[in-house]
Amino acid sequence: MKVANFILALGVLALASSLPLPTILALSRTFVWQPMMLTLVDPEHVTADDFFYSGLMLLVKLQNSGSTYQSLTVDSIHGLNTNGLSIVRIDYEANGGLNPPHHHPRASEILTVLEGTLYAGFISSNPDHRVFSKVLKAGDVFVFPLGLIHFQLNIGKTPAVAIAALNSQNPGVVTTANTVFGASPSLVPDVLTRAFHLDKDLVTKLQKQEWVNPSELNSYSNSY
């Protein structure tokens, strides 16, 4: 009997250790607040507003790439905590609005086009680097797997709009070009000249560009 109980205990421990922390908390708690502190909230103090957001349909100023996004993570809707969900609206200007190549280190993504025509795709990991892409129109849906670089380009003559859902309350985002050329402090140019097969003058010029608008820093921080 002792051996059986020991084996059972090991099984339960193995199952628990295989689950992400938010999942474990979700199994045992109703509400969890402040994701970095995992502070519990008295259910009596929780209201419908903790699960609500208004304003996703408001257009935000476009970035230099010709697109912009509004991300709703656990920072915006506290009720997302432990639920493993977030959502983002992306707007693209006509004739080339781009959501540049990027990846989400903590989430896969499913994107639905609401308006316009997008060329969207992702690139597989080493060593193949295969491109999986489609032209998407209103009502079309495309999936971007966890951690893979992906993009969307508006190839239409009118603005485009898409809504994406991600399976993390805080998916994170790493925009490829911004990360390597806009790193702070700057990377040693030799790293980039060798990696991208570029001459040093061009690398230095690229590093001097403004890759992130200061007004957008809060949007990038720990969000989409």
Task: Give the other-Cβ count within 10 Å of 200's Cβ.
Answer: 11
**DSSP 8-state code for residue 70:** E
Percent of the chain at pLDDT above 90? Answer: 58
Q: What pLDDT does residue 24 have? A: 43
- The answer on 42 and 57 residing in a single domain is no
63 with 129, same domain: the answer is yes
Q: Which residue range forms the structural domain that includes residue 20?
A: 2-49
Do 94 and 159 have their domain in common?
yes
Pair 118, 163 in one domain: yes
User: Which pLDDT score is estimated for 224?
Assistant: 45
For residues 157-179, b (16+ Cβ closer than 10 Å) or e, as one string?
Answer: eebbbbebebbbbbbbbebeebe
* Same domain? 45 vs 56: no
**What's the domain count of the chain?**
2
Mean pLDDT of the chain, nearest integer: 82
Helices (H) and strands (E) in the chain, counts: 6, 12
Tokens representing 175 are 């925009």
In a domain, 193, yes or no: no
Residue 166 covered by a domain: yes
Residue 124 domain flag = yes
**Are residue 144 and residue 93 in the same domain, yes or no?**
yes
pLDDT 10s digits, 13-34: 454 445 555 544 444 344 554 4
Q: Is 55 found in the same domain as 45?
A: no
Domain co-membership, 24 together with 86: no
**Pair (25, 85) in one structural domain:** no
Residue positions forming the annotated binding site:
99, 102, 104, 109, 150
Asked whether residue 101 is domain-assigned, the answer is yes
The residue among 29, 9, 35 whose CA lies nearest residue 168 is: 35
Q: Tell me the binding residues for Mn(2+).
A: 102, 104, 109, 150
Residues 20 and 60 in one domain: no
Domain boundary among 129, 154, 173: 173
Cis peptide before 185, with omega less than 30 degrees from 0? yes
**Is 41 or 27 the better-scoring residue by pLDDT?**
41
How confident is the model over 113-133, as pLDDT tens digits? 999 999 999 999 999 999 999
Mean predicted confidence (pLDDT) in 173-190: 93
Identify the pLDDT of residue 59: 72
My answer on whether 75 and 119 are in the same domain is: yes
Q: Answer whether residue 20 is part of any domain.
A: yes
* 90: in domain: yes
Backbone conformation region of residue 15, classed left if phi is above 0, alpha if psi is from -120 to 50, else beta: alpha
Could you tell me which residues are annotated as the binding site for oxalate? Answer: 99, 104, 109
**Domain-embedded: residue 151:** yes
Q: What is the CATH number of the domain that holds 158?
A: 2.60.120.10
Are residues 96 and 140 both part of a single domain?
yes
Residue 16 lies in a domain: yes
